Amino acid sequence: MFERLPTVPRSQELVDRAFRRSSRSEKGAKYQESMVRTAGNMLSDNLANLIRKFPSIERLPPFYRELLDVMVGMDKMRISLARVSWASKQVGQISREHLRKMRSAEDKISVRKKAFGRMASVLRSVEGDLFYLGEARDRLRKLPTLDLDLPTIIIAGYPNVGKSSFLARVTGARPQVAAYPFTTRGIIVGHMTRGNLRYQVLDTPGLLDRPLFDRNEIELQAMAALRHLQGVVIFLVDPSGHCGYPLEEQLDLLDSLKGWIQLPVLDVYNKCDITEGAKRGLSISTLTGEGVDLAVEGAIELIQSSVSLSF
């Protein structure tokens, strides 16, 4: 969705490039006019093209719109894009205004310098917006591209319960796995095929059982997936306590999620190789692979059931 976002140049870079290009205009009686026209067109067009290459926020699917808001701020992006659009139009207006003045001016060099000064001033006024858009571009490009039409298995749960290991086990994806919480800093996607169908499997950042306004950016990415994607949720629980969170807290989060998300949820207890069987849900071990296929089959059955019920 965001991998084609363009590199965003700094304002001084745009100005230097435009003024250098204008100096190569064809020499002659209208050399100064040609310089103003070339610089104005180049600055105005570069800014306008930059705006066009950013996706329309209103046309984004709700999932991506919420991710954009979580990661870079939707209102802030709207404002910066609007300001850069204003700068594009303002530079064009400055160019046209000074070209008219040049027709009757004796000192065309002075008029050209004033035009260049005003153009540079406009670009400096949106320096912060260009910097923000560049930072936003770099962050958004790291988001995975999801097929919103593919049946999706969303892996959720507390940090360090084995979500990334589950993804690696069923899809062959290689997310970072470590024995400390919040290893997953964003949504990671893998794919698997069962029968003739292809499935999308998402490893979401760890969630904690706390109010929405207390959740950090990493958790809010997981919430966006749970709120907007279609499919089934595999909620991983670590009854061993090795994840650093009591079983009771994990079950409270599980019950809380079941109260507001619209997707079917499959309870799956991990680390059965070091704990007794689960009191509810399936028992698996992402370390040995025991029970993992049963969990996947259960998730696929839930997806197929929900599809059948929708007709």
Chosen domain end from 106, 140, 174: 140
Q: What's the pTM?
A: 0.78
What is the domain-level CATH number for residue 214? 3.40.50.300
Q: How confident is the model at residue 174 (pLDDT cuts 50, 70, 90)?
A: low
**87 lies in which domain range?**
11-140
Q: What is the mean pLDDT of residues 171-180?
A: 55
Q: What is the mean pLDDT of residues 86-99?
A: 98
Q: How confident is the model at residue 261 (pLDDT cuts 50, 70, 90)?
A: confident
pLDDT value at 207 more than 90: no
Residue 145, domain member (yes or no) = no
pLDDT value at 184 more than 50: no
Q: Do residues 115 and 168 both lie within one domain?
A: no
| β-bridge partners, 19 | none
What is the domain-level CATH number for residue 66? 1.20.120.1190
Q: Do residues 88 and 229 both lie within one domain?
A: no
